[in-house]
Amino acid sequence: MDAMRTVSIEELGRHLASVPGKPRVVVSGNVAVPWEAVRALDENKDAYTIHALNAPPGIPDREGVTAETCFVGAGMRRHRDLSYVPSRLSLVPVLLQRRLPPDVVIVHCAPPRDGQLSLGIEVNVLPAAIEGCRGRSGRVIAVVNDQMPYTYGDAQVPVEAVDLAVEVSTPLAAHDPLPPDADSAAIGERVADRVPNGATIQMGIGGVPDATLNALTSSSGLRIWTEMFSDGVLELDRVGALDPHHPLTASFLFGSRELYDWLDGNHRVRMMRTEHTNDPGLIAQQRMMTSVNTALEVDLFGQANASRINARIYSGFGGQTDFIVGALHSAGGQSFIALRSWHPKADVSTVVPLLDEPVTSFQQSAIVTEHGVAELWGYDQQAQCRHIIRDAAHPQVRDELWEEAAQLGLA
């Protein structure tokens, strides 16, 4: 393959117009979508499939555009032609190489250093997409942004792996952490009380994970092996709660500009491909692996729905099942589902007798709400049910849940 060629956005548009048929175009997802190239694609190609993980608002939504994903973000949730492909996140790279091979891959990169671009804050499934695309003589395009942090590990892409590049200077979407609300803080404290010094942590973004990290600042020797992290990890590093001799392993990031500045050129952070970070076998090898995830609702059998509302896909499996399985097979590992007992917007209990929606995960160590910790692992189903009602459910629905439990044969 020839060396990477830098072109104007107009040239890129003409190039994309020449791609035959209705191509599958994989783009960086989360907050790293290469918007300049997406607009060029949409303006020059009548019909195409755009594949992105957890895409934010802005994905083109018109006739001729199929929005394809294994994890639905706000930018695709109500798309007129959504193609949701259920998959554990660890297996999405396999899909992109075998079942959903891309014709074009567009990645958002930091400028090259020593002949290597960097995928920056979004590695995820992109290395597999690039390999699958090159394996079928597809086209790899880089949007090179001097405001993207330069990261290492699987983030590095040789310039010769890229056909065309477009240079931009665009600030990344950033989010400053907010103080946790009272319920999130209470949940975070309860989870943190269960995390021993020296444990390895996985948690996502949101009020409860942020609150948990806030409550871990007095810990020591913590390690990070996760899909993603945000500013809470930066604070743990600042106060010396992390193991200074162990790298931080993640696959994508989202946070403040301070986080991005800290990340740039930081060799302590290893941005790895999804099939590495989310491999349950590798997760299980981590010391006292502790997985903290959330859900939309849980039931009296300990099942969690984190994916669907009224049967409509809201997100997807993500990495929840990968990390639950990996954590429980880790020596001293544990896995928590942490959520509020009451949904503030829907004004309903998040603990229900039996899920109406497809199950995302089950067999956690415990369910944690602001009211307590419901122990699951190692107890029979009747005891699990008692713990969920007594220790996790909102007090005003407990009587009703006891009645439902009896009808389900759990009490």
Catalytic annotation, residues: 227
Assigned token pair, 248 = 């931080």
SS3 annotation, the chain: CCCCEECCHHHHHHHHHCCCCCCEEEECCCCCCCHHHHHHHHHHCCCEEEECCCCCCCCCCCCCEEEEECCCCCCCCCCCCEEECCCCHHHHHHHHHHCCCCCEEEEEEEEEECCEEECCCECCCHHHHHHHHHHCCCEEEEEEECCCCCCEECCEEEHHHCCEEEEECCCCCCCCCCCCCHHHHHHHHHHHHCCCCCCEEEECCCHHHHHHHHCCCCCCCEEEECCEECHHHHHHHHCCCECCCCCEEECEECCCHHHHHHHCCCCCEEECCHHHHCCHHHHHCCCCEEEEECCCEEECCCCEECCEECCEECCCCCCHHHHHHHHHCCCCCEEEEECCCEECCCCEECEECCCCCCCCECCCCEEEECCEEEECCCCCHHHHHHHHHHHHCCHHHHHHHHHHHHHCCCC
- Residue 229 CB: number of other CB atoms within 10 A? 27
Cα separation, 151 vs 255, in Å, equals: 15
Tell me if 283 sits within 8 A of 323, measured CB to CB.
yes
The label of the residue with tokens 């991005």 reads 260
Residues 6+ apart with CB under 8 A from 351: 297, 298, 299, 300, 341, 369, 388, 389, 392, 393, 394, 397, 401
- Residue 146 CB: number of other CB atoms within 10 A? 11
